[in-house]
A and B are shown apart, each in its own frame.
Chain A
Amino acid sequence: MTESSSAPGVRVRDLTVVYKTPAGELPALAGVSLTLAPGTITGLVGESGSGKSTLAFSLLNAVQPPGRRSAGSVEIDGIGDVSQLAGDDLRRVRGRQVGYVFQAAQNSLNPLKTIGKQLLDLGRSHEVADLPALVRDARALLGRMGLDGGRVLDSYQHELSGGMRQRVGIMLALVLNAHLVVLDEPTTALDMITQATILRIVQEVHRERGLTTLIVTHDMGVAAEVTDSIAVMYGGRVVEHGPTTAVLGSPRHPYTQGLIRAIPRLSGDIAEARALPGRPPTLGTMPAQGCVFRERCPERREICDSVDPAPVAVGDRRVACHAVEPAPASARVRKECA
């Protein structure tokens, strides 16, 4: 078995994914650029429909029809441009080099086969010669996550709790030594205790194995707890991306500021939590030009109606907002980046 033991970096460039609708092809991702530094945990946050899952799927070139990638690239160290892969080449990357963990509540396991048999299916699909060793690895991984590996491998999905299934999902994503792991809402629909356990496991396994991890979540708390950096998505764009402490401590984009203000605190008046006015755009209501956030933005100005702000470097982060940087400067920075 050949392994790349170092965490890969990921560079998403100008990625545009469109969905075919009766009203024509509408963009779910509009020229998204995002860099995952090797060995870091990046949180991808945003409301439902902001394009988080589409972006996550893009890392495996797995955007589901009627969606398709219309422009841009997804470069992963050691693999190349994933968006150019197809057929067996793509299949071999999935599972082996990029692990994907599904939401816990939704069933990501075949209900008719034991976990062990599904593990063997995974091994055979990726031409693992030493299947007993694979089983040993799986058992060790499950043990590492606090489960009785032997018992879990003999179980069917319906015999496991949500938290156990989620750990099985993480095991299946890692057992072939993938070093890039994408977790799609890994703790949604789990109770608070299990959620904390899973997050701790994700963090520990991430550190021990030297992974590059992307966590998709709509929960700012989850993002705050485990991530090194946070990318905030809105309307198919990454509007702010930077170190977690910086983004949460002093958000620059008005949307990020609104998101953080909307979180109710345990200590303090519930009235202090203020919901963002309005609702996020859907594919159909996305404005054709200008900033997609302007309808809900307290800092709206004239230029927002006509020019879509490009992400610009502000200190150690990138923000896409006219209120943060004047327009001419943003145009210049975009040129430098390209």
Chain B
Amino acid sequence: MKIGVVTFPGSLDDRDAARAVRTVGAESIALWHGDSDLHGVDAVILPGGFSYGDYLRCGAISRFAPVMSSIIEKAKTGLPVLGICNGFQVLCESHLLPGALTRNHALHFLCSDQTLKIENSSTAWTSSYQVGDEIVIPLKNGEGSFQCDDATLARLEGDGLIVARYVGENPNGSRNMIAGITNERGNVVGLMPHPEHAIDPLTGPSADGLGFFTSILNQMVSK
């Protein structure tokens, strides 16, 4: 089981994502933004950070990196892809997921432990959870406010495409408290908070984030 973790110029959380992959017993493969070869990986993680300095819009330039051409093509035929934070922004800019992430409504950069409620446990990345589970993982972003038009929001709600919602006060102004969404197929998931920073109580607020990584492992093993 090989899970690729992409490094863009400006990625920050690629090492933690790779560590999370190894923690659940999968092999982590480093993918480079300038290389369109996916090296035979079974799934891909787009990590958090500030790829290409967040110039223009977050994720707008990364979306055209050579590695993304291959990921976009394969994601459309079922390759599991998890985009965390900046990775979520890249997925929206790639149009693999609808909507966009915009500036937090209070303009502050957020960095805190955030409670989330899992809303969909049938995606490639959330099958280890139960719907209604509450998890605590770090949230750290400046542009994490999920926005989309009313029709898209109705579709996300109606088709069960919301993966996780913020619990408590809305931290960043996201519509309907959306913290993460998936595509119809359930192979592509974008999440603003960081499960890869919550895999060990020694270094994170909990080990609640592990479920994202065990989910993908279980899916691959059961295939």
Is this pair of chains taken from one and the same complex?
Answer: no
Q: Which of A's residues lie within 8 Å of B, judged by CB?
A: none
Q: Which of B's residues lie within 8 Å of A, judged by CB?
A: none
